[in-house]
């Protein structure tokens, strides 16, 4: 088993329409407005940018994201990542019970040296850190959509 490899899946049931949720998710430069753990997004061009994240643990992760797919009709936004995390992430936005269902898939390998050294003993803590970040993202996006 590669202890530095992670696969994540999050499902968020949200208010509003899929089109409203998709519109918010495609404006990545606004993520820090509603997602507390996304500390900074710096656009490089119209299709790539640098993200800085921090959840419960006292360190930032920095990744450069490159748009791989933007398909409003299918409700899909997908990126590749390089930097402290290398891999990909995908949002899939569909209709759900009384609103919108957002699915977040991510597959990454940790590249940050300290996290690699702590891969085995730190894995449960890294998973909890990620889960906290995703719960906060769901709450933030739900509140943002409810206010729209």
β-sheet bridge partners, residue 108: 6, 87
| Residue 137 pLDDT | 98
Distance (Å, rounded) from C-alpha 86 to C-alpha 49? 14
Residue 132's SS3 state is helix
Q: Provide CB contacts within 8 A for 123, sequence distance 6+.
A: 3
Give the model's pLDDT for residue 141.
98
Calpha distance 67→48 (Å, rounded): 6
Backbone dihedral region for residue 75 (phi beyond 0: left; psi -120 to 50: alpha; all else: beta) = left
Q: Where are the alpha helices (DSSP H) in the chain?
A: 18-26, 31-34, 113-117, 119-147
Q: Which H or E run contains 77?
A: strand 76-83
pTM above 0.85, yes or no: yes
**Low-confidence spans in the chain with pLDDT less than 70:** none
- Tens-place pLDDT, residues 36-56: 999 999 999 989 999 999 999
Paired strand residues for 99: 96
């Amino acid at each position: 088993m590669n202890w530095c490899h992670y696969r994540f899946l999050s499902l968020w049931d949200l208010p509003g329409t899929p089109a409203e949720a998709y519109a918010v998710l495609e404006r990545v430069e606004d993520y820090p407005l509603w997602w507390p753990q996304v500390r900074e997004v710096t656009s490089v061009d119209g299709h790539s940018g640098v993200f800085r994240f921090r959840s419960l643990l006292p360190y930032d992760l920095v990744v450069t994201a490159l748009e791989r797919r933007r398909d409003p009709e299918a409700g899909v936004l997908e990126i590749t990542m390089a930097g402290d995390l290398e891999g990909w992430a995908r949002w899939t936005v569909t209709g759900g019970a009384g609103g919108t269902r957002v699915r977040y898939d991510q597959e990454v390998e940790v590249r940050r040296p300290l996290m690699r050294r702590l891969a085995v003993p730190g894995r449960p803590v890294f998973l909890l850190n990620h889960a906290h970040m995703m719960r906060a993202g769901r709450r933030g996006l739900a509140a943002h959509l409810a206010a729209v």
